[in-house]
Amino acid sequence: MAALIDGKAIAEKVKAEVAAGSERLIREFGEDARPNMTLIVVGSDPISKKLVNMKANDCEASGITPTVIALSESTSEGKLLRLIDRLNRDDDVKAILCQLPLPEHISTKRVLAAIAPEKDVDGFSARIDSDDYDVAACTPAAVMRMLRESGVDVAGKHCVIVGRSNMVGKPMAIQLLLNDATVTVCHSKTEDIASHTSRADVLIVEVGRPGFITADMVKEGAVVIDVGMNYVDGRPTGDVDFPEVEKKASLITPVPGGVGPMTRAYLLVNALTLAERRAEK
Ligand code: GUN
């Protein structure tokens, strides 16, 4: 039976580190150095609104000043790009987040590309040709921290990622490579996914399909990280068939209470890093 990786508990530790870091920064450079974050949410999707409110509350608890800008569903791409341009040029704005998904008439690619890299708190513009990863994509950074906290050293291990999104799968592969793992990335066109997942020492899943990973797809003693966040009858559910896979894995993350709270905590880490970089310039 697997031991649980308690994302909620590790996230509390990370948040306390960020709060201490914010205090240290303000002590050294004054109140103007306080980290802040501008969160943009477009439309009225209740889950997006709830997540943005949770992120803003997390900010307040960690000494980071949040500003939430809520725009209507009918906001044009041009208007959103002009807002981002204004925030990019505003010296008082240190971190910008645009909550995804955006309404269909707005190009996610153009909007994310418009956010200045030095204010990109999601870490989406982290370069792949550099190991300067101090502002890394939040979910992969969160997963790496959860592995470290659980005593899992990925060096030389076979890590299999299921999912190749820009937000998780691709940056996750890079973070693992930077830590000397051997990495396989599976996706919707991969033939016989189980032949790959069943050889994974560490299996990281983000496919958006509840119960996609079944026990027969998992190696005995594997570490299983479930990045999935699906809602089944209104309840958050991961991509892993937890009750069955738990019997086979050595370590596993629950949903909820696994990767989710850690991703939000790493947003705060990034906000602090962006504020530190600016204060030390
Ligand atoms: N929507 C769901 N997760 C995320 C995230 O990590 N960042 C942003 N900007 N939007 C999201």
Three-state DSSP class for 134?
coil
- Taking the centre of ligand 1 as the mean of its atom positions, its distance from the CA of residue 97, in whole angstroms, is 8
Domain boundary among 87, 119, 151: 119
Q: Are residues 114 and 145 in the same domain?
A: no
- Taking the centre of ligand 1 as the mean of its atom positions, its distance from the CA of residue 139, in whole angstroms, is 9
Q: pLDDT digits over 227-269, tens only?
A: 999 999 989 999 999 999 999 999 999 999 999 999 999 999 9
Closest CA relative to residue 174, chosen from 164, 44, 36, 52: 164
Average pLDDT, the chain: 96
Q: Is residue 20 part of a domain?
A: no
Average confidence (pLDDT) over 54-59: 97
Q: What is the pLDDT of residue 193?
A: 98
Judged against a pLDDT cut of 90, whether residue 135 lies above it is answered with no
More confident residue, 97 or 47: 97
Q: What is the pLDDT of residue 130?
A: 62
For residue 129, how many other CB atoms are within 10 A of its CB? 6
Q: Is residue 13 part of a domain?
A: no
Average confidence (pLDDT) over 65-81: 98
Q: Are residues 93 and 200 in the same domain?
A: no
Q: Is residue 2 part of a domain?
A: no
Domain boundary among 89, 119, 149: 119
Q: What is the pLDDT of residue 270?
A: 96
**Ramachandran category for residue 104: left, alpha or beta (phi over 0 → left; psi -120 to 50 → alpha):** alpha
Q: Are residues 249 and 150 in the same domain?
A: yes
Q: Are residues 185 and 237 in the same domain?
A: yes
Q: What is the pLDDT of residue 184?
A: 98
Q: Is residue 98 part of a domain?
A: yes
Domain boundary among 54, 85, 119: 119
Q: pLDDT digits over 176-201, tens only?
A: 999 999 999 999 999 999 999 999 99
- Taking CA atoms, 243 is separated from 208, 225, 239, 248, 249, in Å, by 18, 14, 12, 10, 11
Cβ atoms of residues 203 and 197 within 8 Å: yes
Q: Is residue 95 part of a domain?
A: yes
Q: Which residue carries 């949903």 as its tokens?
A: 255
H/E run at residue 51: helix 46-61
Q: Are residues 148 and 243 in the same domain?
A: yes
Task: Please tell me the total count of domains within the chain.
Answer: 2
| Most ligand 1 atoms within 8 A of CB, residue of 96, 119, 122, 270 to mutate | 122
Neighbour-count burial for 224-254, b at 16+ CB within 10 Å, e otherwise: bbbbbbbeeeeebbbbbbbeebbebbbbbbb
Q: What global pTM score does this model have? A: 0.95
Paired with 205 in beta bridges are 162, 226
Judged against a pLDDT cut of 70, whether residue 128 lies above it is answered with no
Is 45 assigned a catalytic role?
Answer: no
* Atom from ligand 1 closest to the CA of residue 48: 1
- Which residue is closest in CA terms to ligand 1's atom 8? 99
Q: What is the pLDDT of residue 132?
A: 60
Whether the CB of 100 sits within 6 Å of ligand 1: yes
Judged against a pLDDT cut of 80, whether residue 134 lies above it is answered with no
- Taking the centre of ligand 1 as the mean of its atom positions, its distance from the CA of residue 129, in whole angstroms, is 23
Q: Is residue 133 part of a domain?
A: no
Is 175 assigned a catalytic role?
Answer: no
Whether the CB of 97 sits within 6 Å of ligand 1: yes
Cβ atoms of residues 223 and 202 within 8 Å: yes
Q: Are residues 112 and 163 in the same domain?
A: no
Q: Are residues 113 and 151 in the same domain?
A: no
CATH number at residue 235: 3.40.50.720
Q: Are residues 173 and 214 in the same domain?
A: yes
Sign of CA dihedral 126, 117, 60, 58: negative
Q: What is the pLDDT of residue 121?
A: 97
Judged against a pLDDT cut of 90, whether residue 281 lies above it is answered with no
Q: Which residues constitute the domain of residue 107?
A: 30-119
Q: Is residue 124 part of a domain?
A: no
Cβ atoms of residues 123 and 135 within 8 Å: yes
Q: What is the pLDDT of residue 85?
A: 98
Q: Are residues 87 and 158 in the same domain?
A: no
Q: Is residue 125 part of a domain?
A: no
Q: What is the pLDDT of residue 133?
A: 59
Q: What is the pLDDT of residue 248?
A: 98
Q: Are residues 205 and 246 in the same domain?
A: yes
- Taking the centre of ligand 1 as the mean of its atom positions, its distance from the CA of residue 147, in whole angstroms, is 21
Q: What is the pLDDT of residue 131?
A: 61
Q: Are residues 228 and 145 in the same domain?
A: yes
User: Would you give the distance in Å from CA 29 to the centre of its chain?
Assistant: 29
Judged against a pLDDT cut of 90, whether residue 125 lies above it is answered with no
- Going by C-beta distance under 8 Å and a sequence separation of 6 or more, which residues neighbour residue 89? none
Q: Are residues 109 and 154 in the same domain?
A: no
Sign of CA dihedral 276, 55, 10, 247: negative
Question: What does residue 266 show for φ and ψ, rounded to 5 degrees?
Answer: -75, -20
CATH number at residue 44: 3.40.50.10860
